[in-house]
Structure 1
Amino acid sequence: MAAPRGLLHSPCSDENIMHYYVFKDIRLPPFCRGKMEEISEFDVREDDVWVISYPRAGLWLEDVTYLVMHSTEVGIGDMSQESIENGVQFLEYPHPGLETIKNLPSPRIIKTHLPYCMLPRAVQEAHCKVVYMCRNPKDVMCSFYDFHRMVKIVNYKCTLSQFFYRFFNHKLGYGSYFEHVLDWWKHKEEENLLILKYEDMKKNFGEFTRTLAKFIGMQLMPEQVRNLENYWMSQSQYNKREDRVGQWKSYFTVIMDEKFDELLPEKLKRSTLQFDYQ
């Protein structure tokens, strides 16, 4: 693609910033090496709930899913972040590992950022419930950029303009955001798939949790919804300014915004998917 006016025509000199592992022509984090075949044959259960998104697109989805599935427990307001983290397993991450996840009691909540083509066959064939979250690509790009700068092992020092190039040319971990989303959007009518939007979670958390609960097979009482909302609003990590909808406006130049809008239709391939940007 032609780089935006005022943006560099190539990424920064450190081409392989995370020592990516390339599988099926898609860049993956190095910890995915050696386990993709095992993942493709991973044993999936009917009562599994898989929470899937591109990095930074499904921010906090696993937490909301865990909270909804445990909403009947007394004292949800006292639930620790540690209990939530321990209750959701990251499929491809080194800890706790595939063997441990395989042996967890049901129902399991399993998180992954892997694209559709790399998921276990049973997930692709809808043998479990899948919750997929998308987010407007401008905020995804800016949030992923911040993530790269924040994580010490990455130590990303290039500019947002250079990251823009990476984002539109599939040079980041987990490949193209647009292909990641569209591969799931094609299956949006399938009974065992629920596609949610990050912006809806931020706009109306109560309605968001009711939709998620209904899909999982639960019916939340009004008091349970209020308890979830109160807990959510009381936790500072869920209400950071940098995670608000439209945060991209604090990053983008006018030229960058114009170029993004110019390139977007081609990336969406005439899909009916629409994003909310503010």
Structure 2
Amino acid sequence: NGVAVSISFTVYGICLCRARTARTGTTWTQEIVDLLLHNGDAEVCKRAPTAVRIPFLEICAPPPIPSGLDLIEQMKPPRVIKTHLPIQLVPKGFWENKCKVIYMARNAKDNLVSYFHFDRMNLTQPEPGPWDGYIHKFMKGQLGWGSWYDHVKGYWKEHKERNILYILYEDMKENPFREIKRIMHYLDLSVSEDVIKRIVQLTSFQVMKDNPMANYSYIPKPVFDQSISVFMRKGEVGDWVNHFTSAQSQMFDEDYANQMKDVDIPFRFSI
């Protein structure tokens, strides 16, 4: 299936992508970018929920909920945009207009665990089924937005040529100050170190989990049932060890080694 989208960008747009689909730090990155653009002003960044401040490009919903494209058309540049599209489906206008593209990727095992719980609570997604079967769906690329492997490799292989800032979730957790500075420089922005420290604090997991403009608590229950699993669940590196059995981990590792043998993306499964 192909997706054809025509968008015109002026000044610059920022495409916030994550590995394959949900649960790899896009909401985190969106909040960081918004705070950098507003010099760390927390109140300005509470002007609207994340999905309004930074529209989700490919989302379409029944009226009266606006689509991602509807929201984008109403924005004035610079526009910050989120997408989970694989690189081959990103609209050509992003590249032709030299938009800034930040790609956040997370190690496959933690991504799988987090996405499993997300599918449990997201009632617009297919029923995830049992954990053991979900692992196989992930490995075969049978989940939303396709193969995790193809997604992360697609952006990695072109990140230098297309000037994509490729960020790893584990690096962000280990040293958020350093990674936020990388984002700042990439966006040609300049804020003080005190502002960066404030952004580190404002985008910590617990602060964002308690922030109604960032934690998706405004999404109604027919869409997200957060009594099943909250949108911001743990945000940890290495939680996969609490889900994978030894046999499942060995099976996954063997498949992972085969599928990732042609790239050297420095993912870490613990820090």
The bucket for the TM-score relative to the shorter chain is 0.7 to 0.9
1:105-156 deviation line (CA, Å, top 9, x unaligned):
0100000001111110122456211001111000111111111111123362
Letter in 2 for 1:64: I
Letter in 2 for 1:260: F
Mapped to 2, the partners of 1:99 and 1:193 lie a distance apart of 26
Question: Alignment partner for residue 61 of structure 1, among 17, 29, 47?
Answer: 29
Letter in 2 for 1:90: F
CA gap of 1:44–1:269, structure 2 versus 1, over 3 A, is: farther
Q: How does 1:178-197 map to 2 (within 5 A)?
A: 178-190=149-161, 192-197=163-168
Letter in 2 for 1:172: L
Aligned residues: 241
Question: Alignment partner for residue 56 of structure 2, among 57, 67, 90?
Answer: 90
Task: Look at both structures and tell me which one has the larger radius of gyration over its CA atoms.
Answer: 1
1:72-94 deviation line (CA, Å, top 9, x unaligned):
54xx2674273544210110112
Tell me the secondary structure at the aligned position of residue 127 of structure 2.
Answer: coil
Mapped to 1, the partners of 2:43 and 2:201 lie a distance apart of 8
Tell me the secondary structure at the aligned position of residue 172 of structure 1.
Answer: coil
Tell me the secondary structure at the aligned position of residue 52 of structure 1.
Answer: strand
Specify the alignment match of 1:160 in structure 2: 131
Letter in 1 for 2:56: F
Once the two structures are aligned, what percentage of the paired residues are identical?
27
Specify the alignment match of 2:222 in structure 1: none
Mapped to 2, the partners of 1:45 and 1:246 lie a distance apart of 40
Deviation at 1:249, TM superposition (A): 0.7
Q: How does 1:38-53 map to 2 (within 5 A)?
A: 39=5, 41-53=6-18
Q: 1:58 touches 1:135 (CA, 8 Å); kept in 2? A: yes
CA gap of 1:156–1:176, structure 2 versus 1, over 3 A, is: same
Question: Alignment partner for residue 244 of structure 2, among 216, 238, 252?
Answer: 252
Please give the root-mean-square deviation of Cα atoms over the aligned residues, in Å.
2.3
Q: Which sections of structure 1, spanning at least 5 residues, go unmatched?
A: 1-22, 25-35
Specify the alignment match of 2:259 in structure 1: 267
Q: Report the more deviating stretch, 152-161 or 182-191.
A: 152-161
1:141-179 deviation line (CA, Å, top 9, x unaligned):
111111111112336251111001110111111010110
Specify the alignment match of 1:237 in structure 2: 209
Specify the alignment match of 1:80 in structure 2: 46
Q: 1:52 touches 1:58 (CA, 8 Å); kept in 2? A: no
1:22-59 deviation line (CA, Å, top 9, x unaligned):
x15xxxxxxxxxxx22x1x3223341111111322234
Q: 1:210 touches 1:220 (CA, 8 Å); kept in 2? A: no
Mapped to 1, the partners of 2:11 and 2:45 lie a distance apart of 27
User: What TM-score, normalized by structure 2, do the two folds share?
Assistant: 0.81
Mapped to 2, the partners of 1:84 and 1:169 lie a distance apart of 31
Q: Which sections of structure 2, spanning at least 5 residues, go unmatched?
A: 61-65, 216-231
